[in-house]
């Protein structure tokens, strides 16, 4: 059983929906952070060549 399924089974519907929304937001924020870190690395690389 997955962690999400286990947590969902132990919570009421509204709490499970909030948890899912938080997890989706967390995933989006992690994606944005990874993109910004990649951009910063590319800029550092570009500046080091000058």
- List the pLDDT tens digit at each of the 50 positions of the chain: 566 666 556 667 888 889 999 999 999 999 999 999 999 999 999 999 97
Query: What does the pLDDT read at residue 50?
Result: 76
Query: What does the pLDDT read at residue 47?
Result: 95
Query: What does the pLDDT read at residue 34?
Result: 98
Query: What does the pLDDT read at residue 24?
Result: 97
CB 7 within 8 A of CB 19: yes
Where are the domains positioned within the chain?
3-48
End-to-end Cα, the chain, rounded Å? 53
User: Distance between CA atoms of 40 and 35, rounded to whole angstroms?
Assistant: 9
pTM over 0.85: no
Q: Which of 1, 18, 43 is nearest to 9 (CA)?
A: 1
Q: Which residue has the tokens 């910063």?
A: 40
Count other C-beta atoms under 10 Å from residue 20's C-beta: 13
């Amino acid at each position: 059983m997955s962690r999400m399924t286990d947590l969902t089974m132990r919570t009421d519907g509204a709490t499970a929906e909030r948890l899912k929304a938080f997890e989706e937001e967390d995933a989006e924020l992690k994606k944005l952070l990874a993109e910004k870190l990649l951009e910063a690395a590319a800029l550092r690389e570009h500046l080091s060549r000058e």
